[in-house]
Amino acid sequence: SHLSGKRHRRLRSLRAERREQELRSLFVSGFARGTDPAELRRHFGSFGDVTGVVMDKDKGAFAIVELSDPSERQRALEHPRHSLGGRRLRVRPR
């Protein structure tokens, strides 16, 4: 059957990879427009190894911050208050 085919296996592993990526990622908003991704990288670097920061291209209103491990993401989520440049950040699971 096609379920054991290469294409299906590849899709399944892509989905698993994406799920794992989401478990390491944060949805961040509340920072000033025009914030440099490096500033977010620095801020979240105190919780672990930041492997990626993807800014919302259109409005610059949110970013996805990916850490190298789900436990680092958990530490960031448990932190009571995030702020950057005097503004409070909203940090949620992706």
pLDDT of residue 37: 95
The CB density around residue 79, as the number of other CB atoms within 10 Å, is 13
Nearest Cα neighbor of 63 from 43, 80, 79 is 43
Between residues 3 and 81, the one the model is more confident about: 81
Indicate the pTM of the whole model. 0.86
Please tell me whether residue 54 adopts helix, strand or coil conformation. Answer: strand
Question: Which domains, and CATH codes, for the chain?
Answer: 2-93 (3.30.70.330)
pLDDT of residue 2: 60
What are the pLDDT digits (tens) for 32-79?
Answer: 988 999 999 999 999 999 999 999 877 778 999 999 999 999 999 999
The sheet with strand 87-93 has its strands ordered as: 50-55, 62-67, 25-29, 87-93, 82-84
